[in-house]
Structure 1
Amino acid sequence: MGLFHPGNRDRSPDHARVYAAYEIAHTCVDFGAALCFIIGSVMFFSDAWQRPGTWLFLIGSILFAVKPTLRLAREVHMLRMGRIDRLAARE
């Protein structure tokens, strides 16, 4: 199966564990980004807190950029696992 195939996560128990671990990381990044944007938004109500609020917006934006990176890393990881499985089956 190729990248982003929905059946990849069900290929083996190891694939399911890897999929779950990446989903947990993805969810944590989502919460982190949302928290940065919420706190940053509240900081913009005060002139004294605008600079830290701007930094939180930047951090939140970076976290949103990490999300597709995690998905791609997960898919490459599981694709490599499938290749190792095929090699082991040949032996």
Structure 2
Amino acid sequence: MKLFHPDNCKRSDAHKRIFASCELAYTAVDFAAALMFVVGSILFFKESTTYVATWLFLIGSIFFGLRPTIKLYRELAYLKLAKDG
């Protein structure tokens, strides 16, 4: 089994469940990151809220960093299934 092959998600029902779970997590993280950046951008318009805006940008950046982590987790879970089964 090759890492990041598009057919990996179709190998079994367990693969499909992992794919669905990771897609849900990926979408939630993506949405949260975008929300943090939009709210942070709005807060930068007022000087009194720039501190909070900076934190929201940091948190949003961390969320964006989670995106490839979720994909790597998915692929490692596929490898574990292949090894165990």
Tell me the TM-score normalized by structure 2. Answer: 0.97
C-alpha distance after superposition, 1:62-85 (max 9, x if no partner) = 100010011001100111101111
Structure 1 match to 2:32: 32
- How many pairs align? 85
Unaligned runs of 5+ in 2: none
- Give the partner amino acid of 2:6: P
Q: Give SS of 1:66's match.
A: helix
Structure 2 match to 1:3: 3
**1:59 and 2:62 equivalent?**
no
Name the CA distance, whole Å, in 2 between partners of 1:70 and 1:13. 19
Q: Give SS of 1:3's match.
A: coil
Structure 1 match to 2:13: 13
Name the CA distance, whole Å, in 2 between partners of 1:61 and 1:14. 31
Percent identity over paired residues: 48
Structure 2 match to 1:79: 79
Q: Give SS of 2:2's match.
A: coil
Unaligned runs of 5+ in 1: 86-91
Is the radius of gyration larger for structure 1 or structure 2?
Answer: 1
Tell me the TM-score normalized by structure 1. Answer: 0.91
Give the C-alpha shift of residue 2 in structure 1: 1.5
